[in-house]
Amino acid sequence: QSVQQDSVYILPLCPAMNGESSAKEKVEEGYEFISKWPLLPFSCGVPLKDRWDTFRNVLMINNITCVTYNATVGLMPLHRHRSDDLGLPLDLVITSSWDLRVAAWMLRPDAKEADLEFDAFIKGAPHLCSSKTQMTQNSSSQMKALAETKDNLSDLLSIYFALDRPMDKHGLKSSFRQIEGPLQSMLSAMELTGIGFLPEVLSDISTKLEQRIDELTNEAKQIAKDESFLCSSPQQVAHLLYDVLKIPTTTLDNRLSSSQNRSTSESVLEQLKETHPH
């Protein structure tokens, strides 16, 4: 079917009504999780499976642009459905995504979290946003929510055209398209499934680190000739460096006093490492 320019269409990914009746459509196997979503108050003659297949196919087409807001959250249902319901691999790289939140952050890296909220874009660019869909007092809450969604999608598209040009002007488009955009799907999958690790490997690393700490602690005690020496004590470390090992404080910052030059801060220890490697 032909698509009218500047029109917004909604692809329902949750159960809709079954024909003219008010009954929920029959959900196929593999869509049990989605079948628990709220019922959309309109009839849709396309099976739920076909709607989800269409949704994924659109996302995976590289030569189109899928304008999104906060794709990290928006893609979670897709990952959840493919991994848990269908047992299929996750789509970790989606190159078609153009995410408003990420684009705005790249243009304004110092922006606060509140500045990246969708409402902030609407308030900041009212001239770009279309007039809101008028609803009657008798309209159901579901229909009002659908109308609001339609308006938000229309506004999102308008803001996309306004921000895509400065992205190109500032030379950010390439990294946005090749790195930041595709990365959103991977971040979404990580948010949903978590990051796995091997407990036995972690335990082995912990054991090795503890052994190395014990070795260094014993070595420090031998140098200090003090079994009660604590590497965590700045006073004892300063005594070891400047009194026992006789490291001259003049090798540090001459602008500091003698007491200040006995510092054991990380920056001072790094200087000592360079001037006294042994």
In a domain, 8, yes or no: no
- Domain match, 115 and 169 both: yes
Range of the domain at 244: 199-275
* 138 within domain boundaries: yes
Q: Do 164 and 234 fall into the same domain?
A: no
Do residues 164 and 256 both lie within one domain? no
> For residue 20, what pLDDT band results from cuts at 50, 70 and 90?
low
Residues 166 and 249 in one domain: no
Q: If you average pLDDT over every residue of the chain, what do you get?
A: 82
- Tell me, yes or no, whether 50 and 140 share the same domain: yes
**Are both 257 and 122 inside the same structural domain?**
no
Domain match, 212 and 149 both: no
Per-residue pLDDT of 173-187, as tens digits, reads 889 988 998 899 999
Q: Is 43 helix (H, G, I), strand (E, B) or coil?
A: strand
pLDDT at 16: 78
How would DSSP label each residue in 96-129?
A: TEEEHHHHHHHH-TT--GGGGSHHHHHHH-GGGS
| pLDDT value of residue 215 | 94
Q: Is the pLDDT of residue 19 over 70?
A: no
115 and 147 both lie in a single domain: yes
Q: Say if residues 140 and 41 touch (Cβ distance below 8 Å).
A: yes
My answer on whether 118 and 227 are in the same domain is no
For the chain, the domain total comes to 2
Does 86 lie in the same domain as 203? no
For position 9, what pLDDT does the model report? Answer: 66
Backbone angles phi, psi at 24, to 5 degrees: -70, 140
Q: Which residues pair with 99 in a beta bridge?
A: 68
Which tens digit of pLDDT belongs to each residue from 196-211? 778 999 999 999 999 9
Residue 132 is given by DSSP the state: P
In a domain, 25, yes or no: no
Residues whose CB falls within 8 Å of the CB of residue 158, separated by 6 or more in sequence, listed in order? 128, 129, 130
CATH number at residue 214: 1.20.1060.10
On whether residue 17 sits in a domain, the answer given is no
pLDDT band, very low/low/confident/very high, at 2 (cuts 50, 70, 90): very low
Is the pLDDT at 159 greater than 70, yes or no? yes
Tokens of 115: 């500045």
Q: Which tens digits make up the pLDDT trace of 244-277?
A: 888 876 555 555 455 555 788 888 888 887 777 6
pLDDT of residue 214: 93
Which of 144, 171, 193 marks a domain boundary?
193
What gap in Å lies between CA 167 and CA 164, rounded to an integer?
5
Which domain-ending residue is among 193, 228, 248?
Answer: 193
- Taking residues 222-229, what's their average pLDDT? 87
Specify the residue for token string 């026992």.
244
| Average pLDDT for 161-176 | 90
38: DSSP letter = P
State which of 160, 193, 226 marks the end of a domain. 193
Question: Does residue 259 lie within any of the structural domains?
Answer: yes
* C-alpha torsion angle, residues 62, 67, 69, 72 (rounded to 10): -10
Asked whether residue 240 is domain-assigned, the answer is yes
Of residues 5 and 161, more confidently modeled: 161
- Over residues 101-126, mean pLDDT: 89
Distance of CA 2 to the CA centre of its chain: 36
